[in-house]
């Protein structure tokens, strides 16, 4: 399998010069996929989207803010698809809000709800939301008033909190007793690492209460609305009785000082911690009569010194030089040592408390607010539109290719037309833009002569890196390392007989290649081939994929 893929790359290398000259980006083509709501931010986008003119009251100090953040539909600053525009939150440190009503409210009580879209934090991660709000049916005519107070049914998508990252999945569930809505948060939200490139977020919610949250097409959290949310959809059947109080005489002290123990007669609490060491003797040669410091013999009274005004002049002192060669000077003092008879204060030993009754807990009573909703999805309000309402510290957060509908297949097909094309190109462009320490350093040696002189070194040093890059994106790899590609092509033609050596070398390096290629979440050309040739993966293939997944940085954060 690997050999086949590699030989394809090597053959492609022979024609690499032509490929390297082709600088054109793929062009954007609107999708023909239909959905209850599908937004690619084409020319008529403003017919659907309304920036908010509402004001927002902050919880602190009752201050009022307007949604002053500017929205723009434009190409990303590092776009890889010609003419592909997205919706961009343009203003640093500002509240942004914009919304789009659906043509018809979406009810998902008996069909899956599929929400998918792309977010690109073009300026990287500081602080800023990138989530969508699926707004309750009924808001449609009030787009200009869209604010943090507009009722929503589901909130979904990434949030760069400070610090940290998480993908929110929150739904608002109505308590059938109180009639109040309560936010239910995914207990363990995905925390993927989010870079400056485009990432794809997908939420699938089934009528049977199961859900799936995907990041870049890979399932991250799947489970059940009844189990994985906080607070839980259904309250506890029993609660602590608020009337029940701990009795005054309840004993919950587990251990006590033994009341029967007494201080032993020979226990002297006053014995000192340290005593003079009577065995110590004054070292030989100790100078009892020499002071540690003496008047500096070199010091002289300054000429301007006036005994009348300044008093008697006293020479500054210096260390007595005689003490340097002796064990010590002045009065010898006996050192102290630890007192073997020291005991300190006496305490009675601890014993189990015979009166201990155990930890007190209030008795349980039936929860007066108890209810049971076993089909929370069916209780959720249908949605009338989508809104983006967020605060951002970092500007230029881009949204694109929003799909809201009922078909997982259509959402995947849209991703295949958009994200799956875009992300590998972004990864390759990003790689090419990195400080190229391991790409450019030996450029002078990348000649055919270098290959002839020392083919093994040439191949070890260059080919591995090249193949590595080519696995992610062959075109970009040829562009980034045209000389490697060209030399490789020439080498191929002339030294056709060395193919076996090539394979041997690369085969030996299989592990490192696999590892570094998996640094990215982007589907590699390999993955694509797999998907295309085997739309239904055989069981064994599936297992292997699951094993591979644990290698990706995203999965590690689970």
Ligand X SMILES: *[C@@H]1O[C@H](CO)[C@@H](O)[C@H](O)[C@H]1NC(C)=O
Query: Cα separation of 7 and 151, whole Å?
Result: 57
Query: Cα separation of 66 and 464, whole Å?
Result: 55
* Residue closer to ligand X, measured from CB, 40 or 221: 221
Output the smallest distance, CB 77 to ligand X, in A.
Answer: 40
User: Which residues contact residue 383 at a Cβ distance below 8 angstroms, ignoring those fewer than 6 apart?
Assistant: 102, 105, 106, 108, 134, 135, 136, 137, 153, 154, 404
Asked if residues 386 and 280 have their Cβ atoms less than 8 Å apart, the reply is no
Residue nearest to ligand X (CB): 208
Q: Does 210 bind ligand X (CB under 6 A)?
A: yes
User: Which residues contact residue 262 at a Cβ distance below 8 angstroms, ignoring those fewer than 6 apart?
Assistant: none
Interface stretch with ligand X, choices 91-99, 206-214, 317-325, 362-370 (CB under 6 A): 206-214
* Residue closer to ligand X, measured from CB, 219 or 350: 219
Q: Does 140 bind ligand X (CB under 6 A)?
A: no
Output the smallest distance, CB 44 to ligand X, in A.
Answer: 34
Query: Cα separation of 460 and 396, whole Å?
Result: 42
Output the smallest distance, CB 208 to ligand X, in A.
Answer: 4
Output the smallest distance, CB 203 to ligand X, in A.
Answer: 14
Applying CB under 6 A, what is the total number of residues that bind ligand X? 3
Q: Which of 310, 314, 315 is nearest to 298 (CA)?
A: 315
Q: Does 406 bind ligand X (CB under 6 A)?
A: no
Output the smallest distance, CB 552 to ligand X, in A.
Answer: 24
Q: Does 185 bind ligand X (CB under 6 A)?
A: no
Interface stretch with ligand X, choices 205-213, 281-289, 301-309, 531-539 (CB under 6 A): 205-213
Which helix or strand (DSSP H or E) is residue 37 part of?
Answer: strand 37-39
Is residue 234 classed exposed, middle or buried when 0-12, 13-18 and 19+ CB atoms within 10 A define those classes? middle
Longest dimension (CA), the chain: 109
Query: Cα separation of 512 and 501, whole Å?
Result: 18
Query: Cα separation of 163 and 174, whole Å?
Result: 32
* Helix 464-472 / helix 2-14 crossing angle, nearest 10 deg: 100
* Residue closer to ligand X, measured from CB, 227 or 548: 227
How many CA atoms lie within 13 Å of 410's alpha carbon, on the beta-carbon side?
19
Output the smallest distance, CB 358 to ligand X, in A.
Answer: 41
Asked if residues 398 and 88 have their Cβ atoms less than 8 Å apart, the reply is yes
Please name the residue that has the structure tokens 């008795």. Answer: 363
* Residue closer to ligand X, measured from CB, 208 or 372: 208
* Residue closer to ligand X, measured from CB, 196 or 206: 206
* Residue closer to ligand X, measured from CB, 210 or 353: 210
Output the smallest distance, CB 379 to ligand X, in A.
Answer: 17
* Residue closer to ligand X, measured from CB, 197 or 404: 404
Output the smallest distance, CB 204 to ligand X, in A.
Answer: 9
Interface stretch with ligand X, choices 84-92, 142-150, 203-211, 455-463 (CB under 6 A): 203-211
Interface stretch with ligand X, choices 28-36, 117-125, 202-210, 511-519 (CB under 6 A): 202-210
* Residue closer to ligand X, measured from CB, 210 or 320: 210
Q: Does 206 bind ligand X (CB under 6 A)?
A: yes
Output the smallest distance, CB 223 to ligand X, in A.
Answer: 10
Q: Does 208 bind ligand X (CB under 6 A)?
A: yes
* Residue closer to ligand X, measured from CB, 210 or 234: 210
Query: Cα separation of 432 and 479, whole Å?
Result: 9
Please report, as ranges, the residues that interact with ligand X according to CB under 6 A: 206, 208, 210
């Amino acid at each position: 399998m690997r050999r086949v893929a590699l030989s394809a790359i090597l053959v492609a290398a022979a024609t690499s010069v032509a490929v390297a000259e082709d600088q054109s980006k793929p062009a954007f083509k609107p999708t023909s996929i239909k959905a209850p709501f599908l937004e690619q931010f084409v020319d008529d986008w403003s017919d659907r989207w309304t920036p908010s003119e509402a004001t927002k009251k902050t919880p602190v100090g009752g201050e009022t803010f307007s949604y002053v953040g500017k929205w723009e539909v434009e190409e990303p600053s590092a776009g890889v698809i010609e003419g592909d525009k997205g919706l961009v939150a343009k203003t640093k440190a500002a509240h942004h809000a914009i919304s789009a009503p659906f043509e018809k409210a979406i009810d998902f009580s008996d069909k899956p709800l599929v929400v998918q879209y792309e977010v690109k934090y073009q300026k990287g991660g500081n602080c800023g939301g990138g989530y969508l709000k699926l707004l309750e049916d009924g808001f449609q005519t009030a787009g200009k008033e869209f604010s943090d107070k507009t009722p929503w049914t589901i909130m979904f998508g990434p949030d760069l909190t400070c610090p940290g990252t998480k993908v929110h999945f929150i739904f608002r569930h109505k308590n059938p007793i109180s009639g109040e809505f309560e936010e239910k948060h995914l207990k363990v939200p995905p925390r993927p690492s989010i870079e400056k490139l485009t990432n794809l977020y997908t939420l699938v919610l089934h009528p049977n209460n199961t859900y799936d949250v995907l990041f870049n097409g890979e399932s991250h959290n799947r489970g059940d609305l009844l189990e994985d949310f906080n607070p839980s959809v259904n309250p506890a059947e029993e609660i602590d009785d608020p009337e029940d109080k701990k009795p005054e005489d309840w004993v919950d002290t587990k251990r006590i000082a033994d009341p029967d123990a007494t201080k032993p007669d020979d226990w002297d609490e006053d014995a000192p911690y340290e005593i003079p060491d009577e065995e110590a003797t004054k070292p030989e040669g100790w100078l009892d009569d020499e002071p540690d410091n003496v008047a500096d013999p070199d010091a002289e009274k300054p000429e301007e010194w006036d005994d009348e005004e300044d008093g008697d002049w006293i020479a500054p002192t210096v260390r007595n030089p005689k003490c340097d060669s002796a064990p010590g000077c002045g009065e010898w003092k006996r050192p102290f040592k630890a007192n073997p008879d020291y005991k300190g204060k006496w305490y009675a030993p601890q014993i189990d408390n015979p009166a201990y009754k155990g930890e007190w807990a209030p008795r349980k009573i039936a929860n007066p607010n108890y209810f049971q909703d076993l089909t929370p999805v069916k209780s959720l309000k249908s949605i009338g539109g989508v809104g983006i309402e967020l605060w951002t510290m970092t500007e230029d957060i881009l949204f694109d290719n929003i799909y809201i509908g009922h078909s997982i297949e259509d959402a995947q097909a849209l991703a295949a037309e958009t994200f799956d094309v875009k992300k590998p190109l972004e990864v390759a462009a990003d790689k090419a833009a990195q400080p190229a320490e391991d790409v450019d350093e030996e450029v002078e040696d990348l000649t055919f002569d270098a290959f002839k002189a020392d083919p093994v070194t040439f191949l070890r040093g260059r080919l591995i890196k090249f193949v590595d890059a080519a696995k992610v994106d062959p075109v970009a790899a040829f562009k980034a390392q045209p000389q490697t590609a060209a030399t490789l092509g020439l080498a191929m033609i002339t030294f056709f007989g060395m193919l076996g050596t090539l394979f041997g070398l690369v085969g030996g390096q299989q592990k490192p290649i696999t590892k570094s290629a998996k640094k990215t979440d982007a589907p590699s050309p390999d993955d694509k081939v797999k998907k295309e040739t085997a739309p239904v993966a055989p069981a064994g293939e599936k297992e292997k994929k699951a094993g591979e997944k644990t290698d990706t940085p995203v999965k590690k954060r689970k």
